[in-house]
Amino acid sequence: MRRKTTVGEVDAEVLAYTAGQDRVLDAALVEADCFGTAAHVAMLARMPVKPPLLTPADAQAVVAELRRVLADAAAGKFKITLADQDVHLAVERRLTEKLGDLGKRVHTCRSRNDQVAVDLRLFAKVRLLEAMEAAATLARTLVAFAKKHAKVPMVGRTHMQPAMPSSVGLWASAWAESLLDDLALLRTAYDLNDQCPLGSAASYGVPLPIDRQLTSDLLGFAQPVHNVLHANQARGKMESIILAALGQAMLTLSRLAQDLILFSMPEFGYFRLPAEFTTGSSIMPQKRNPDVPELLRAKAAKVLAHANLVAEIVRAAPSGYNRDLQETKAPFMEGFELAISSLRILAPLMSKLEVDAVALRRGFGPEVFATDRALELVAAGMPFRDAYHEVKANLDKLAGKNPDAALAAKRHLGAPLGLDFAGLAARAKKAGDWAVRERKRHAARRNALLGLKA
Ligand code: ARG
């Protein structure tokens, strides 16, 4: 059976197969598609050709209709039909229904390939900034938690076995610093994404004097992607770069989650998860399960797998646009959702996490002080290896020392009592403030171009 689409007739099953999930997923791209289209028509209206492709009044009429599309979308009234296949043709159909021939001119010098590429970059900008804001907030929460419990002793472990005296402050701020590294990766991903592919068309440019710099500026990108073929091929690669950066943040969160699960077990009792972050059991009345950190572990696995999935989809793609790219959209969007929700849920959990200093101190067996004892002998003049063997031979004689005194002796840079909480907090604040400013700048660009009120 043949079915009519917005751009010709297609076999019904082929249409369903090729449109895939686009009709649903593209709902998240309506805003970006309208933003990109507004920049495109503004550029077309300024193109030095005679007769002009679009007059400034035409461009204004298109933008006014795009505003109505956005309003309809916000009210859940903008529909992407199967015949449209995706958001791009749905918007074009709507513009043509309302504006006639003018609507049919909008796609001049543009392909759905560069259109979806620019949509996804605009979408990614907003979501990356949300992720960065959430990561910075979580990093600050972790630093505050670390500072509050800076001097609470905690057994430091290697191989999960008791190793050396440590502190809750060291443990918590380690995750904060890991997130600062992740923020640097996210920022790099943001900067790479901040290049405009619009005007690359099907992958090879167009034989008319379009102004790619202008559309890039109107959309608030740092610059256009230079090479039009690269502009198209970077789709998929960009998604995998972004997902990889999100995956690193999830890696940090997943390991923190694992520690939370472990150390809040009754056998440890170091931490107590806030009641509202635990769930009960349908059969066992006493249960307070750590479902949030458990799901965090699983969601981290998914984001990391999505980064790999997207890279795999494009790995063997030949040059130019290939429809394979469409399949990267779902893991890309889901990766953002998983990462952002995870970053957001941990901050309130951490700020309400209870610390049981008594249980933490109880964890200190005498063996935790073995290395400190050896270094004490070293300080008195014994070569380290001799001191090591001396202590090893007399492990049973190790007296339980005071964990507070052990911590007090560790004052060098980055050690339990040498932590620069203010420096870490300042770095987190800087990253978060930047993301907020950039989000506002982006929203202002969009509002100016579409004539929307702030
Ligand atoms: N929905 C399509 C995608 O995500 C848009 C581009 C279609 N381009 C094409 N040449 N069929 O890739």
Could you give the residue numbers annotated as active site? 159, 281
What does DSSP say about strands 195-196 and 161-167: parallel, antiparallel, or unpaired? unpaired
Under the banding of pLDDT at 50, 70 and 90, the label for residue 3 is confident
Across residues 292-317, what is the average pLDDT? 98
Rounded Cα distance between 257 and 238, Å, is: 28
Residues 81-130: tens digit of each pLDDT: 999 999 999 999 999 999 999 999 999 999 999 999 999 999 999 999 99
- Whole-number pLDDT of residue 285: 86
CA 362 to chain centre: 39
Angle in degrees, CA 159, 160, 164, rounded to 5: 90
Ligand 1 pocket test, candidate residues 14, 81, 86, 239, most atoms within 8 A of CB: 86
Closest CA to 97 of 118, 83, 115: 83
Protein residue with least CA distance to atom 10, ligand 1? 113
Residues 21-63 have pLDDT tens digits of 999 999 999 999 999 999 999 999 999 999 999 999 999 999 9
pLDDT 10s digits, 368-406: 999 999 999 999 999 999 999 999 999 999 987 899 999
Tell me which residue of 246, 245, 273, 247 sits closest to 259, measured CA to CA.
273
Test site for ligand 1: of 10, 111, 112, 328, most ligand atoms within 8 A of the Cβ? 112
User: How much is the pLDDT for 194?
Assistant: 98
Q: Please state the atom number of ligand 1 nearest to the C-alpha of residue 113.
A: 6
Question: What are the E-state strand segments in 187-334?
Answer: 195-196, 223-224, 271-272
- The residue nearest atom 3 of ligand 1, judged by CA position, is 326
The domain segmentation of the chain, as residue ranges, is: 2-105, 112-151+166-363+417-450, 366-400
Sign of the C-alpha dihedral, residues 92, 95, 98, 100? negative
Planar angle of CA 254, 260, 264, nearest 5 degrees? 155
Calculate mean pLDDT across residues 304-332: 97
pLDDT in tens, 400-438: 789 999 999 999 999 999 999 999 999 999 999 999 999
- What is the pLDDT at residue 280? 87
Which is the CATH superfamily of the domain at 2-105?
A: Fumarase/aspartase (N-terminal domain) (1.10.275.10)
Among protein residues, the one with the nearest Cα to ligand 1's atom 2 is: 326
Could you tell me the pTM of the whole model? 0.96
Of 116, 115, 112, 94, nearest in space to 104 by CA: 94
Whole-number Å distance between alpha carbons of 2 and 205: 32
Q: In the CATH scheme, what is the homologous superfamily, with its name and number, of domain 112-151+166-363+417-450?
A: Fumarase/aspartase (Central domain) (1.20.200.10)
Q: How far is the CA of 113 from the centre of ligand 1 (A)?
A: 6
Residue with tokens 């990093």: 139
| Cα(323) to centroid(ligand 1), Å | 6
* C-beta of 22 in contact with ligand 1 (< 6 A): yes
